[in-house]
Amino acid sequence: MKSRHHSFFLSRSIFRKTLFVLAVSLGGGLSFGAGEHGVGTNEQFRGPVGLQMYSLRSICQENVEEGMKLASEMGFKYVEASRLYDLSIEEYRALLDKYGLTAGSKNWGVEMFLSESKMDEVIHEAKILGITDVGIAWFPHVRPFSLADAQRAVEVFNRAGAYLKKAGMRFIYHNHGYEFHPWDGGKEGETLFDFIIQNTDPETVAFEMDILWTVFPGADPAALLRKYPDRFVLLHLKDLKKGVEGNLSGGTPVENDVAIGSGQADYPAILKAAQEAGIKYYFIEDESPVFRTQILESLKYLESVKLD
């Protein structure tokens, strides 16, 4: 994931006016958490919808509290925790509580799952955050991602999952697009991502599907959710700009992140399959420079999407 630096801070009153103007320009209908199922939901799509705090990294790197405040003012009740920046885990949790936010999960670097002492640190932080789903969003490799890389990933994930289970936690792997190389030993059309899913312990290892990083390499998110309905527990709601040609690199400019429903992903089919699979949390992640506007556009889309 690529970082972008944007330093713009609004006072609380100015930001509320900004929300109002954006809501009007988008045609109204933004509930900001007022709906029966919470922000970004409707009668057919029930969520719950949260925010991956990495979306607000340009704010949080200067002042984490401003980022928490913004998430709350947008109506979110759930977040996926991101970097702590200069805060202790206790200070981070205190800010979540202050702004009425509940953490649903968090990703760490893979190095935190290579030894029991490091995993003990993860368990300590996770307990303070109140989460049970912990994992990684990138597995180190030299391109192209190979079967040997997938085999190493399986070993790390299974070992970490078994250790975390003792603490009542579950290891989560967030796909990043490079895992979809063909798997020569699999069934027709299967990829190394299938290999990873099929060779990890379903009792201790689960997955967070990133929609953009599933569409970008040419896979079908809804089909994967139907194929493995018991393995995915979290979703990153992201969309890929129309006309962008994907590949298996696991990388694309952040400007290719667009508001949900305006890109290449078939969101009605994806959300229907996700609900049938019992997804626990749906986290909007917007890495674009215009995240403020696009997050609101994404919420509006989710509040009106029909799954039939």
The reported pLDDT for the residue numbered 22 is 52
**Residue 94: how many other CB atoms lie within 10 Å:** 14
Average pLDDT of the segment spanning 25-48: 72
Three-state secondary structure string covering the chain:
CCCCCCCCCCCHHHHHHHHHHHHHHCCCCCCCCCCCCCCCCCCCCCCCEEEEHHHHHHHHCCCHHHHHHHHHHCCCCEEEECCCCCCCHHHHHHHHHHCCCEEEEEEECHHHHCCHHHHHHHHHHHHHHCCCEEEECCCCCCCCCCHHHHHHHHHHHHHHHHHHHCCCCEEEEECCCHHHCECCCCCCCCEHHHHHHHHCCCCCEEEEEECHHHHCCCCCHHHHHHHCCCCEEEEEECEECCCCCCCCCCCCCHHHEECCCCCCCCHHHHHHHHHHHCCCEEEECCCCCCHHHHHHHHHHHHHHCCCC
- Band (308; pLDDT cuts 50, 70, 90): confident
For the chain, list the domains and their CATH numbers: 36-304 (3.20.20.150)
Q: Which two tokens stand for residue 147?
A: 């079967």
pLDDT digits (tens, 9 = 90+) for 124-182: 999 999 999 999 999 999 999 999 999 999 999 999 999 999 999 999 999 999 999 99
- Could you tell me the pTM of the whole model? 0.90
Q: Is the pLDDT of residue 46 over 70?
A: yes
Average pLDDT of the segment spanning 74-91: 97
Average pLDDT of the segment spanning 61-89: 97
Pairing label, strands 49-52, 257-258: unpaired
pLDDT digits (tens, 9 = 90+) for 234-254: 999 999 999 999 999 999 999
Location of structure tokens 């215009």: 290
196-197-200-206 Cα dihedral, nearest 10 degrees: 120
- Band (35; pLDDT cuts 50, 70, 90): low
What is d(CA 287, CA 285) in angstroms, rounded to the nearest whole number?
6
Across the chain, what does the average pLDDT equal? 92
pLDDT digits (tens, 9 = 90+) for 97-117: 999 999 999 999 999 999 999
Q: Which residue has the higher pLDDT, 199 or 5?
A: 199
- Band (17; pLDDT cuts 50, 70, 90): very low
Closest to 191 in 3D by CA, of 144, 133, 242, 137: 144
Pairing label, strands 205-210, 232-237: parallel
The reported pLDDT for the residue numbered 94 is 98
pLDDT digits (tens, 9 = 90+) for 180-218: 999 999 999 999 999 999 999 999 999 999 999 999 999
The reported pLDDT for the residue numbered 36 is 81
Q: Which two tokens stand for residue 39?
A: 């922000």
Average pLDDT of the segment spanning 263-288: 98
| Portion of the chain with pLDDT greater than 70, in percent | 89
Q: Which residue has the higher pLDDT, 98 or 13?
A: 98
| Portion of the chain with pLDDT greater than 90, in percent | 88
